[in-house]
A and B are shown apart, each in its own frame.
Chain A
């Protein structure tokens, strides 16, 4: 059966889409007073050349919005090249953020405001600006050479092609040069501050607090006086320009969101994963060893963990992916909470060693920050196409539990859960996140440390079979084997990847013993379903259609469900955190719906698993564009299936 059979639905790319009708004419805000107009939410996309500092601009805007109390979600999108040729479409980097005064689930489908620092950024992003949206351009960059590089015959600022949008032209480069010329900065260097001009302008437009950004600039560039001065001057110039230029009738304001009471911070998925691993070490009372080889988009986990040696965290940058998991396996044997982190290509390389960890039955967490594949694929873009790899990507019968995080902040809890399962069941566990979660940010309500689970373990200290120690004598309930650490007198034992005798662990090639061991390893992993929560279904109206998501589609799938419900439709929603084993009630849940829709950023991997496991007609909505779903795309599929 081909993928096509159950993938009736697929998200089409913009290129395949017919041109949408556009509303002609300028959009004028209604209000006339200078008091800020209240908005409930806004979606802004900053877009520029890779060298223009758009990620930094977006980060700063996000940070102050978070501190201001908005709910928010972000989506960075940048090329794999560190510096693609300047001014080309290949070099465009963007950062989308939705800020709101209420609980939101996604960074927004289409931006309502696009900041384009050059023609290439305009060309690459204008197709996604909502009709009637605001386009803020750095008009200085629209000279012939840049227009040529972006493939424009004529300047789009002059040929009427942008008539559907409110176009605000601001000569950001020259105003930045003007603002910094007293400082003695070379013009070439001064020009690099223009992203701070844009940030200042947007800070005025959306009434963002100024002080945190000024303080951040002062701290960040403390050692480079000229750069510090130029950035401050550019930021202030942008802010003041907004205030005095009368391009807008008034600024806008998005009030703080009414979030659940608590202390919040902004967090990305990779940071949350790193914190989750540190927490898992504390909660298990074990030192953490994290061995990793640099790979996009997982390297930030290594960077972060390497800072926290005072938590007893050892990090080792290994010579390759295989060494990284080898080091982790050694550390696990020696009694550490051992972790290796990577992305898809690294998981490929680690697969033999994962099989070893399965055979050794040692606790180990493997973090896979999924990116677009196959091969090198799309290193900086997101995808969920490693699910079947996680499930089956090893020779022999090699079952491994899989945990997937659903939001950036959920990476924290998912990391602890992966460690819990690994330690309790003495098994390697795959923790799946993805590029979208890794780099996307959201507010995180900090947990009380005392609410976090106790995942501590006990080591074997006594012989367990008369006067012998049997390393594979299992706990009858969990089927986990004892963890006896080197240094423990009397428990010396040798374990290896060769099949071993049940109980004694001695090398054994007996046919029946092998079958017993294969079944035992499978039963151990399958039994974890008794130790994880049942899948929770959100179905207020008694729907026929269930939307089943996993991993990072949680927010956007729920948003789509909410939109469909707002349109009067009945839709149920469920989300999977545990992909192997599945929650014990998943089969019953799926069979209680006549229609099941699985949106996933692959060609139908979860739908294939649930069809195989439960014989249900789950349909897949697939998208493999290196970008997350838009809620409207899933909503359209929901409406089509209903």
Chain B
């Protein structure tokens, strides 16, 4: 073992001026990420941040690591290529709700079901920011925007439900107003082997200011944020007076603990292989103003794609020997002309 190298936040900061709007939630996410990297001591040169297009997608320019700012929606595919080629690298994908769930929805779900060892962090501000304020695939129905003056008609995605439906092996949710929680969820995502999906509620103070204020403001958090704690009954409220229980249909509902008793509460188990309960929990926040689960919904082990590829490569070399080009092109019936 060599000398222990310690890193500071500034080791992950680039010389580029950060150009998000003043007050944007992205700043706090960037700070959380840089602090987390310093804490984890990840070598900057072994890390790659890949993004698509959107405000969030500028993120790689501000991380002193390797990075690709690719095209709209395709970051999970590009990151898949990096990880496939170099499984030793720490590969992260950063994108917004439009990038990940609209134009890039296909790549997101396939990266998750393949279980590529990439960490996908989706900043959800429920609006298109870079194009100056159109409704997004996570905007609530009826949203008045430049492209929906009479209110949007589209049913929004619940990103956590989408990820669970896409067979993701790690799904978490956090928000930009709680650095410690963000770092906890991102740390867990980093530790997970395989694809990780983290949704971060992020405030766009220009085009959708206060979208999550009813959840994340300090005075309402206790009632509005349902903390998911492994192995514990799901309870929230200032005195833990509220809880989550399953009803007769297998759906989650909010219950009064004093009325139903602690034993009726659902005990959170992020390691359950079947995603049914995780999905049921994800359905708790379908509309604005509802108490919303935060934390790790699911963290299960499944073969990791790039590791399986490496295994096939090794097995093929074992079985067939190292590639012999002359042998390959001369296979399948040759004849000689003298």
**CA A411 – CA B106 in complex, angstroms?**
33
Count of chain A residues with a beta carbon within 8 Å of a chain B beta carbon: 74
Q: Is B323 a contact of A310 with CB atoms below 8 Å? A: yes
Q: Is B333 a contact of A266 with CB atoms below 8 Å? A: yes
Please indicate the chain B residues that have their CB under 8 angstroms from the CB of A212 in the complex.
333
Q: Is A494 a contact of B14 with CB atoms below 8 Å? A: yes
Q: Is A326 a contact of B333 with CB atoms below 8 Å? A: no
Contact with B along A132-155 (1 / 0, CB 8 A): 000000000000000000000000
**CA A412 – CA B337 in complex, angstroms?**
21
Q: Is A336 a contact of B85 with CB atoms below 8 Å? A: yes
Please indicate the chain B residues that have their CB under 8 angstroms from the CB of A260 in the complex.
337
Which residues, 315 to 334 on B, are CB-close (under 8 Å) to A?
315-317, 319-323, 325-326, 328-330, 332-334
**CA A266 – CA B332 in complex, angstroms?**
8
Contact with A along B89-101 (1 / 0, CB 8 A): 1000000000000
Q: Is B333 a contact of A265 with CB atoms below 8 Å? A: yes
Q: Is A352 a contact of B86 with CB atoms below 8 Å? A: no
Query: Which of B317, B322, B337 is within 8 Å of A69, CB to CB?
Result: B337
Q: Which of the candidate stretches B73-81, B237-245, B259-267, B296-304 sits at the interface with the other chain?
A: B73-81
Q: Which of the candidate stretches A48-56, A317-325, A588-596, A620-628 sits at the interface with the other chain?
A: A317-325
Q: Is B337 a contact of A490 with CB atoms below 8 Å? A: no
Question: Is A639 close to B, CB under 8 A?
Answer: no
Question: Is B336 close to A, CB under 8 A?
Answer: yes
**CA A506 – CA B89 in complex, angstroms?**
23
Question: Is B313 close to A, CB under 8 A?
Answer: yes
Question: Is B178 close to A, CB under 8 A?
Answer: no
Please name the residue on chain B nearest to A327 by beta carbon: B81
Please indicate the chain B residues that have their CB under 8 angstroms from the CB of A265 in the complex.
329-330, 332-335
Please name the residue on chain B nearest to A500 by beta carbon: B69
**CA A485 – CA B89 in complex, angstroms?**
11
Q: Is B45 a contact of A489 with CB atoms below 8 Å? A: yes
| Closest chain A CB from B36 CB (angstroms) | 17
Q: What number of A-B contacts does a CB cutoff of 8 Å give?
A: 212
Question: Is A39 close to B, CB under 8 A?
Answer: no
Q: Is A275 a contact of B81 with CB atoms below 8 Å? A: no
**CA A326 – CA B320 in complex, angstroms?**
30
Q: Is B328 a contact of A330 with CB atoms below 8 Å? A: no
Question: Is A308 close to B, CB under 8 A?
Answer: yes
**CA A473 – CA B337 in complex, angstroms?**
51
Contact with B along A264-308 (1 / 0, CB 8 A): 111000000001001100100001010100000000000000001
Which residues, 456 to 498 on A, are CB-close (under 8 Å) to B?
485-498
Q: Is B319 a contact of A310 with CB atoms below 8 Å? A: yes
**CA A308 – CA B319 in complex, angstroms?**
11
Please indicate the chain A residues that have their CB under 8 angstroms from the CB of B81 in the complex.
289, 291, 316, 326-334, 338
**CA A286 – CA B228 in complex, angstroms?**
46
Please indicate the chain A residues that have their CB under 8 angstroms from the CB of B313 in the complex.
309-310, 312, 314
Question: Is B215 close to A, CB under 8 A?
Answer: no
Q: Is B330 a contact of A262 with CB atoms below 8 Å? A: no
Please indicate the chain B residues that have their CB under 8 angstroms from the CB of A314 in the complex.
84-85, 309, 313
**CA A88 – CA B325 in complex, angstroms?**
44
Q: Is B86 a contact of A334 with CB atoms below 8 Å? A: yes
Please indicate the chain B residues that have their CB under 8 angstroms from the CB of A291 in the complex.
81
Q: Is B79 a contact of A310 with CB atoms below 8 Å? A: no
Question: Is A245 close to B, CB under 8 A?
Answer: no
Say yes or no: A497-B45 contact (C-beta < 8 A), given A275-B328, A323-B77, A334-B89.
Answer: no
Q: Is B69 a contact of A487 with CB atoms below 8 Å? A: no
Question: Is A251 close to B, CB under 8 A?
Answer: no
Q: Which of the candidate stretches B23-31, B60-68, B194-202 sits at the interface with the other chain?
A: B60-68
Please indicate the chain A residues that have their CB under 8 angstroms from the CB of B89 in the complex.
334, 486-487
**CA A293 – CA B80 in complex, angstroms?**
15
Q: Is B77 a contact of A309 with CB atoms below 8 Å? A: no
Q: Is A449 a contact of B70 with CB atoms below 8 Å? A: no
Q: Which of B65, B71, B78, B326 has the most CB of A within 10 A?
A: B78
Question: Is A507 close to B, CB under 8 A?
Answer: yes
Query: Which of A66, A333, A353, A492 is within 8 Å of B74, CB to CB?
Result: A353
Beyond the given A308-B316, A324-B77, A493-B67, please list 7 additional residue pairs across the A-B interface where CB-CB is below 8 A.
A310-B316, A311-B323, A322-B77, A327-B80, A331-B81, A333-B81, A334-B48
